[in-house]
Amino acid sequence: MEVIEKPEEMQKRSLELRSQGKTIGFVPTMGYFHEGHLSLMRRAKRECDVVVVSIYVNPLQFGPREDFNRYPRDLQRDLKMAEEVGVDIVFVPKDEDMYPEGYQTFVEVTELTKVLEGFYRPNHFRGVTTVVAKLFNIVLPHKAYFGEKDFQQLRVVQRMVKDLNFPIEIVPCSTVREPDGLAMSSRNTYLSEDERKAAILLNQALRAADELFRSGERNVARLKAKVWEILATEPLVRPQYVEIVDAENLEPVFTIDKPAVILLAAFVGQARLIDEWVLVSE
Ligand code: AMP
C-alpha cells in the first residue's frame, strides 16, 4: 500500500493510473476508521481497479466551538486497517499543502446547505464542498463513495458534482450500524458507558417511526412526534432537530407520498450525533 502526502504527487500518480486505463475509486474520510469506512472501501475495491482513501481532518468544515482539536486521530491504526481491506493508496495531506498561505477559493452549494445540519453548523458544508472539490481534482477518481449516514452531505456533494460537471460518479452507501442499532461514527468514542447506552435511543426512535410508517401512517407531524416522544424518555439525549424531508431534494414534506428521510441530530453528553432513516413504501 502506498502512502502519499503531497497533492502534486497524488495527482501525478492518478494521471499515471488513468493513462494505464485503470479505474480509480475514491473514499474521502477524516480517519479513525470503523466498519462504516471499511464498507465504503470494500465496495470501491469490488467496483474499481485502484482504491484511493484520503485521511484528512479538514479544519475548514469545523465551527469555532466544535471538536476539531479533539477529533480522534490514529494514523497507524488507520493505515493497518486500510491495508487489510486491500486499499492501494492512502492520501494523507497536510494543512499547509491543502490551504497554503494566500489560499482564497471556496466552493458553495447555496440552497441545500441552508437547512438541517447547515442551519446548526453554518459554513460546515462550504468546508466540505471546498475540500471534496480539491480532493476530486487531486485524486481524479472515476467513482467516489459516500455514506448515507451523512445524508445531507451526500446530497450536497451530488449537487456540487452535477452543478460543476465533475466527471465523477457518486456512489451512495448504506449506513453501517452497531449490533444494537447505533450508527457507527468516529464520534462515538466520545461517549461514556452510560451515554453509549443512552445513544441507542436515536436508532430506536427512528425504528419506531418506521414501524408507524409501515402500519400506514403518512402524516409527517405524527411521525415526527413519535421520534420526539421516544427521544424524550432519556435525559442524557438532547435532540437538536428531527425533520422528515424529501429524500431527493431535502425539501419539507407534510404527507409522505414519495421517498422521504428522517434526519436527526442530538447531543449525547459532549458528542453531537446524527442519524438517518429512509422511509419507502413497499
Ligand atoms: P468521516 O470520516 O466521518 O468523514 O466519514 C467518511 C465517509 O464515511 C463519509 O462518506 C461518511 O458518510 C461515511 N460513513 C461514516 N460513518 C458511516 C457509517 N456508519 N456507515 C456508512 N458510511 C459511513
Mean pLDDT computed over 237-264: 98
Q: Would you say 59 and 95 are in contact if contact means Cβ atoms under 8 Å apart?
A: yes
> Could you give the C-alpha distances from 274 to 64, 104, 177, 203, 266, in angstroms and in order?
19, 30, 12, 10, 6
Domains of the chain and any CATH numbers: 2-173 (3.40.50.620), 186-277 (3.30.1300.10)
Distance 104 CA to ligand 1 centre (A): 28
Q: What is the DSSP string of 248-271?
A: TT--B-SB-SS-EEEEEEEEETTE
Pocket flag, ligand 1, residue 171 (CB < 6 Å): no
- Work out which ligand 1 atom sits closest to the CA atom of 187: 3
Q: Which residues, in sequence order, are CB contacts of 133 under 8 Å at separation 6+?
A: 107, 160, 164, 166
Angle at which helices 220-231 and 193-214 cross, to 10°: 160
Residue 282 has pLDDT above 90, yes or no: no
Angle at which helices 7-19 and 124-139 cross, to 10°: 50
Pocket flag, ligand 1, residue 150 (CB < 6 Å): yes
Cell of 172: 451512495
How far is it, in rounded angstroms, from Cα 50 to Cα 275?
A: 30
How far is it, in rounded angstroms, from Cα 22 to Cα 2?
A: 16
List strands edge to edge, sheet with 271-279. Answer: 237-246, 260-268, 271-279
Residue 63 has pLDDT above 90, yes or no: yes
β-strand partners of 183: 177
pLDDT in tens, 189-203: 999 999 999 999 999
Pocket flag, ligand 1, residue 136 (CB < 6 Å): no
Ligand 1 mutation target, pool 42, 131, 150, most atoms within 8 A of CB: 150
Whether this prediction's pTM lies above 0.95 is answered by yes
Q: Which residues, in sequence order, are CB contacts of 5 under 8 Å at separation 6+?
A: 91, 92, 93, 94, 97
How far is it, in rounded angstroms, from Cα 240 to Cα 171?
A: 29
Distance 271 CA to ligand 1 centre (A): 16
Q: Atom 14 of ligand 1 has which residue's CA nearest to it?
A: 147
β-strand partners of 247: none
In the structure, what pLDDT confidence band is assigned to residue 253 with cuts at 50, 70 and 90?
very high
Residue 206 has pLDDT above 90, yes or no: yes
